[in-house]
Amino acid sequence: MSDFDPNRRQLLKASTVAVGGVAAAAGLMQTAEAAAVAQPAIPATPVLMSILLRVNGAEHQLMVDPRTTLLDALRDRLHLTGSKKGCDQGQCGACTVLIDGRRVTSCLTLAVMQEGHDITTIEGLGTPTSLHPLQAAFVKHDGFQCGFCTPGQICSAVGMLQELREGAPSHVTGDLNAAVQASPLEFRERMSGNLCRCGAYSNIQEAIAEVAGVKR
């Protein structure tokens, strides 16, 4: 008879430990494989794309990382720093520009998406000697204090007045079957995406109302 004579209980214990070890090893391998699939290799150099941006009537050929926002392309690459970066997540409106006449928060769109579109920034709306009517009204009515939100406010107001002219209703429009009326209530609602940390709202409203020909 052999010296090795394990009883039944010892055999069961030993085989349970062995099976547990194999299962743990298999689990670790699966985890490692999943991690390898979830993390694609990072390219050594950034992938760049060539784009043609049309801004304020001028064309600009740029090589950009496709993740570049329009706001960063305008400010950092084209040095059009009128559009401001307040929040970089679509909450403050300081980066508002016009794309094909529509107001857009430029921090929420990619530069590569805007090829073939007409982009207008505050620099393209008027000149120091020939202000856009809204720029002139903001000066006349003191529609700013620090001025950080002002380019976005003015671009947004240009787009907003166009939306009103086209009869687009807003959340506060009472009768959807009647022509939309410009009013201080409509202005407040439609400009609510543009925040002013200085609280110059009442003067901003006066400026917009004057350009729209509405009595406050």
> Which of 62, 87, 131, 182 is in the footprint of ligand FES by CB under 6 A?
87
Tell me the window of 12-20, 154-162, 182-190, 193-201 that interacts with ligand FES (CB under 6 A): 193-201
Cβ-based nearer residue to ligand FES, 92 or 180: 92
Smallest distance, ligand FES to C-beta of residue 68, A: 14
- Does 86 help bind ligand FES (rule: CB under 6 A)? yes
In the complex, minimum distance from the CB of residue 62 to ligand FES, in angstroms, rounded to a whole number: 20
CA 70/CA 48 separation, integer angstroms? 15
Q: Please count the CA atoms within 13 angstroms of the CA of 216 that sit on its side-chain side.
A: 14
What is the H or E stretch that residue 119 is in? strand 118-120
Radius of gyration of the chain (CA): 30
Which one, 90 or 116, has the nearer CB to ligand FES? 90
Which residues, other chains included, contact 5 with Cβ-Cβ below 8 Å and sequence gap of 6+? none
Site for ligand FES in 149-178 (CB under 6 A): 149-150
Residues 33-72, mask of contacts with ligand FES (x by CB under 6 A): ----------------------------------------
* Positions 88 through 147 that interact with ligand FES (CB under 6 A): 88, 90-95, 105, 107, 144-147
Which residue lies nearer to ligand FES by CB, 92 or 119? 92
How far apart, in whole angstroms, are the C-alpha atoms of residue 156 and residue 140? 18
- CA distances from residue 215 to 32, 157, 167, 207 in whole angstroms, order as listed: 68, 17, 19, 11
CA dist., res. 160 & res. 187, Å (int): 8
> Euclidean distance between the first and final Cα of the chain, in Å?
110
Residues near ligand FES (CB under 6 A): 85-88, 90-95, 105, 107, 144-150, 196-198, 200
